[in-house]
Amino acid sequence: MTPHFHISRRRFLKTTALVSASLGIPKWFVEEAEAARRHTNKLGPNDKPGIAWIGCGNRGRVISKDAAKHGEMRMICDVDDAHLAIGQKEHPNAKPCKDFRQILERDDIHVIVNSTPDHWHTLINIAAVNAGKDVYSEKPLTLTIDEGRHLVRAVDKTKRILQTGSQQRSDKRFRHACELVRNGRIGKLKHIMASIPTGPHQGPFATAPVPAGLDWNMWQGQTPAIDYVPERCHHSFRYWFEYSGGMMTDWGAHHNDIAQWATGSERTGPVEIDGKSLVAMIPGGYTTASQFRVEYTYANGVKLTCKDSAPDNSPNGVTFEGTDGWIFVSRKEIKASNPDLLTQPLPASAVRLYHSENHMQNFFDCVRSRKAPICEAEIGHRSVSVCHLGVLSMRLGRKLKWDPKNEKFVDDKEANKWLAREMRKPFDYSIT
């Protein structure tokens, strides 16, 4: 049974009252952040950080193992006993729990690894930084654009370290491609193509009894309470609009992040969005677009297309097209219209990007140094905002104009209503 939130929250607030408010490229760091908050024991130079892992699903098992190389896994948390048991096999010395707030009360936990479903990312991340923890959060960072603003403010206020799990930023191929584009190697950039996998097109699905050991109410969290449907839970949650944005926010958060990194728009966004879902939803089935095409326009005239791969079997990756050639980059390769575009050295005066060779290592380095990580909260928020904008354009069925500075749709009350969603009580900001 889920604990009553008003009781647990009272206990939690007592703890958190004072904080509720190879290219050989040198690293680029932003201003040094404030040292750790008072509710978490500070690390000495030789101390191992205490780590807690929340959300023991498939992707979480990968990143929790990676994180455990840098500290001591002391707690694990999941609302499903079956997942919790698997997590205990991975980390037998870690104490299990089913309520993440038990983790936040411990002052020997310095780092939270958050690999929960998307609709739980923001509330846990804000609660964690308010409790004095640093956070490695899986992408997409948020469920809505409004959540992103809440999270960025919380991170800025608490001076905690938050790394978004957009690990392509720590891949030398992607960094190399972005530096070449930034430095005009393909001439004037005209168009970017972000091609991502096609999502499933399935349904309808039937309700079923809630499996023993799964706290379905807690799993649903802020989303509307409904009867249990197996295909809504765990891995396939990402194909339901209530919990995620389909492949658009899943893979799109990766490739659109790279597109913005290459253009220097990682702290802003497009000014126009025109998205189309190409296949109708199946009644009673998945509620996110499986096949789609979204056209973005940036203030400098650069166009970004994000599409699924089905229509033309396009490879999963990012293509940059300029007046003097093109560059394609993926997790497997980097190639260009002319191989010399890739091999000719950049001049000493060239723009250099943040250099990270290992995403998790970069995070833990920043936990100690208090420097900003390669994909801090503002960048993670802006990257997934591009995806959210595309999803909203598809769902509304029309072109949208966006003000990236104020993060509002231009003269569009209907669209602006979708910047946030109603949170089902008591799973709202009151628990952070």
Confidence of residue 8 (pLDDT cuts 50, 70, 90): very low
Confidence of residue 47 (pLDDT cuts 50, 70, 90): confident
Mean pLDDT of 302-316: 95
Reference 72, options 35, 100, 36, 46; nearest CA is 46
Residue given tokens 């001439």 in the structure block? 187
CA–CA distance, 422 with 428 (Å, rounded to integer): 9
Give 338-371 as a DSSP string. Answer: STHHHHSPPPTTS------S-HHHHHHHHHHH-P
pTM of the shown model: 0.90
What 3-state class would DSSP assign to 271? coil
**pLDDT for 345-356, tens place per residue?**
999 999 999 999
CA–CA distance, 81 with 89 (Å, rounded to integer): 12
CA–CA distance, 208 with 220 (Å, rounded to integer): 15
Mean pLDDT of 27-41: 36
Contact 123, 429 (CB under 8 A): yes
Confidence of residue 311 (pLDDT cuts 50, 70, 90): confident
Contact 84, 61 (CB under 8 A): no
Residue given tokens 């799973």 in the structure block? 427
- Position 18 scores a pLDDT of 35
CA–CA distance, 200 with 388 (Å, rounded to integer): 19
Contact 305, 319 (CB under 8 A): no
Mean pLDDT of 327-354: 97
CA–CA distance, 271 with 275 (Å, rounded to integer): 13
- Through-space distance between the first and last CA atoms of the chain, rounded to whole angstroms: 21
What 3-state class would DSSP assign to 283? coil
- Position 288 scores a pLDDT of 98
**Burial of 334 (C-beta count, 10 Å sphere; 0-12/13-18/19+):** middle
> What CA–CA distances, in Å, run from 235 to 90, 239, 243?
19, 9, 11
E strands present in 120-188? 134-137, 162-164
CA–CA distance, 306 with 196 (Å, rounded to integer): 7
Read off φ and ψ for residue 314, nearest 5 degrees.
-70, 145
Percent of the chain past pLDDT 70, that is, above it, reads 89
- Position 11 scores a pLDDT of 43
List the domains of the chain with CATH numbers. 33-169 (3.40.50.720), 170-355+383-431 (3.30.360.10)
**Looking at the predicted structure, is the pLDDT value of residue 184 above 70?**
yes
Mean pLDDT of 120-131: 98
Range name among 7-16, 68-77, 249-258 with the lowest pLDDT average? 7-16
Reference 366, options 379, 376, 378; nearest CA is 376
Residues 6+ apart with CB under 8 A from 133: 40, 52, 104, 109, 110, 111, 112, 160
What 3-state class would DSSP assign to 124? helix
- Position 41 scores a pLDDT of 63
Query: Sign of the CA dihedral 42, 48, 52, 53?
Result: positive
E strands present in 197-337? 272-277, 292-297, 303-308, 317-322, 325-329, 334-336
Task: Report angle CA 106, 107, 108 to the nearest 5 degrees.
Answer: 90
CA–CA distance, 397 with 394 (Å, rounded to integer): 5
CA–CA distance, 82 with 219 (Å, rounded to integer): 14
What value does the mean pLDDT of the chain take? Answer: 91
Read off φ and ψ for residue 195, nearest 5 degrees.
-105, 125
Confidence of residue 212 (pLDDT cuts 50, 70, 90): very high
Higher pLDDT, 272 or 36: 272
- Position 39 scores a pLDDT of 47
**pLDDT for 53-95, tens place per residue?**
999 999 999 999 999 999 999 999 999 999 999 999 999 999 9
- Position 45 scores a pLDDT of 61
What 3-state class would DSSP assign to 60? helix
Query: What's the full length of the chain, in residues?
Result: 432
- Position 22 scores a pLDDT of 40
- Position 192 scores a pLDDT of 98
DSSP assigned state of 323 = T
Q: How many other CB atoms are there within 10 angstroms of residue 43's CB atom? A: 17
- Position 358 scores a pLDDT of 98
